[in-house]
Amino acid sequence: MTRFAAPIAEQIWDMKYRFKDADGAPLDGTVEDSWRRIARSLASVEQDAAYWEDQFYSALEDFKYLPAGRITAGAGTQRSVTLFNCFVMGTVPDSMGGIFDMLKEAALTMQQGGGIGYDFSTIRPKGAPVSGVAADASGPLSFMDVWDSMCRTIMSAGSRRGAMMATMRCDHPDIEDFIAAKADSARLRMFNLSVLITDPFMEAVKADGPWELTFGDRVYKTVQARDLWNRIMRATYDYAEPGVIFIDRINAANNLSYCETIAATNPCGEQPLPPYGACLLGSVNLARLVWHPFEDEKAHVCKTQLSELVRTAVRMMDNVVDASRFPLEAQAQEAQAKRRIGLGVTGLADALLMCGLRYGSDEAAAKTEEWLHLIAREAYLASVELAKEKGAFPLFDADKYLASGTMRGMDDDVREAIRTHGIRNALLTSIAPTGTISLYAGNVSSGIEPVFAYSYTRKVLQKDGTRTEEEVVDYAVQMWRDKFGDAELPDYFVNAQTLAPLDHVKMQAAAQKWVDSSISKTINCPEDISFEDFKDVYIKAYEDGCKGCTTYRPNDVTGSVLSVSEGTEKTPAETPALAREASGGDVIYMSEPLDRPQELEGATYKLKWPDSEHAIYLTINDIVVGGHRRPFEVFINSKNMEHFAWTVALTRMISAVFRRGGDVSFVVEELKAVFDPRGGAWVQGKYIPSILAAIGGVIEKHMVSTGFLEGEGMGLKSDPQAAVVNLDQPRGKACPSCGQFDMRMVEGCMTCGSCGHSKCG
């Protein structure tokens, strides 16, 4: 019997989380081995390691508690990786030397896979004088371009990169350029952007008052606050960025407001962090805790089970602080001083469905608040118990801590326990993106998002080079089918495409009441939503107590829609990059070419063809996409001028195909099948029908050595991306990792529904 609820779950485990040797040989034989590896590693810091290993294993078993991907993949592997998902880097100095010191720190952090956030508000605006040199400042956006290039370089060097977040205050003189940056689709592609919105700015917007753009003591420009707000809204309406972070609310509600000031978040926004702040993440899978699903009043989340699971999860996460490596010593010191953790949930929408509640309804919002309140209580009480045993976090000050914004609203018994015994972790709750781990858990709904699609069809590449299709079904929908067969889904089944935007806001606000950090959530808006209604979403989010707001409106820039298996559902995807008319009015779509970093890794091969005076040299360069190395370009050189024209043509054609992404192994098969009527040759004991076939063999050898192909002869016979579709079914960009047309906006990140690849790492 398999523990996996769906085939895609096992595939995600094997691809993302299964511990393997350097040559790809599995070291985790089963998912139980993975759970045992994680449990043993996180229990190793305990005095009674054997006892806690069993407790941790029980929490992990059957996907009830889901540590974030870096913990699941890295714990117990002895590899030099960080188990922390997200970092905010140090304050950027307003000097050339300081800026590039920060760039170096960012590179070291990203090299270990951490996502990073930066506030660029500390850099003087464009045109400001620079003392000591006869020049004007180039401004923060020019340095963001340098960060963007660094991120591309780290990715091309073979490391699994994290994403980057850039923030800028709403009163910075360059804020208008920052807002408009993503209008250029080629600029800052490695960044998510968010504007830091202050309470005085929102008051000025409401009053339609003036707003000063300042740096230091100088006022550079005065604008109308409402005009600036409309520019922010128009940019995110058109380009889905920048996001909005209500920074004053974040600082006022911070448990640590007495010893830190926050000016940035991690890439997806759920972790507002101080300079060098780091946070690890994990999620309780509510969908696995529902008893008597779909049985009217009997259906419920077991509160006893949830309480026990939360307490165990908090202990596990606290241990990660001690078990993890850190890219920088400053990050390690910050983590040890405050011991932040970010425990959240996933499968919320599925759990609501299983309890007969419509996502977005008042009843669902109330139940969400009830569940999150219980999780917060148990998390804080568990941390108090840890403080009794192991001590409070070093910067704990009872009076100041209990006077903070979040703690003022905490239950009296919890406050008294903290005053008496202290608390181990300064902050405990956060709701992070869970796209990949949700697939791993059986395609449960992500985080607090609604069900995205009831089902969709996924193409899977088999070892023999063929592709099969499989249906991927939402966890709750599959449970309904198992229980009731083909019976029609009840009216309370809703999805992201049918919900009103303000229903999303209602759910985010309900969850935020009991989350001491923040929430990663995407508010899906219909393409035809009016600009005024769109702006109302952000105003409502501010008024209802949200700490930030991220929306997604499909359009010609952000993406069109892609049909999924049920005719009433649509999936946002990105716009088609290239279309050519075909017979009968159909269109053949190809994906947008992959970007070329400045540096690539590759290898050069010498091919000596019998009876040829000069050898042919093949250079094959690779790009790293989604953590995997794949061919990107080919150069073919020879001193034999007879070969010049066709080798140049072949170089250009093969490179163009490689840059389109997807599974390009069909190139090997096509080349190997070329027959020369003048006869082939025997090379190393094998008959090769032509020099082109020999070139195909060299490319295949390279693909096998880099892991792109599993072995010789395992390439595809046809191009998997040469799909003919109807004009009324527009397609977006293909996933850069697997080539499938299934990119969707989930929790603020473009994410592939087929393989789990995420823009945010």
Q: Which residues are catalytic?
A: 266, 268, 270
Cis upstream peptide for 610 (omega within 30°): no
Q: How far is CA 478 from the centre of its chain?
A: 25
Asked if residues 168 and 195 have their Cβ atoms less than 8 Å apart, the reply is: yes
Residue 63: half-sphere exposure toward Cβ, Cα within 13 Å: 27
Neighbours of 386 (CB within 10 A): 23
Tokens representing residue 468 in the block: 């099969």
Nearest to 12 by CA among 469, 472, 464: 472
**End-to-end distance of the chain based on CA atoms, in angstroms?**
32
- What tokens appear for 330 in the block? 């400053």
CA 606, 609, 613 angle in degrees (round to 5)?
95
CA–CA dist 227, 210 (Å, integer): 9
Q: Is the dihedral of CA 37, 39, 44, 48 positive or negative?
A: negative
Name the DSSP letter for residue 94.
S
Among residues 375, 369, 283, 275, the alpha carbon closest in space to that of 328 is found at: 275
The number of CA neighbours under 13 Å toward the Cβ of 213 is 19
8 Å CB contact between 665 and 716: yes
Between the CA of residue 547 and those of 144, 197, 245, 521, what are the distances in Å?
Answer: 25, 10, 6, 11
Whether the CB-CB separation of 699 and 714 falls below 8 Å is answered with no
Can you state the angle between helices 199-207 and 225-239, rounded to 10 degrees?
Answer: 100
What tokens appear for 668 in the block? 């090997």
CA distances from 328 to 106, 122, 301, 324 (A): 10, 21, 41, 12
**Cα 217 from chain centre:** 38
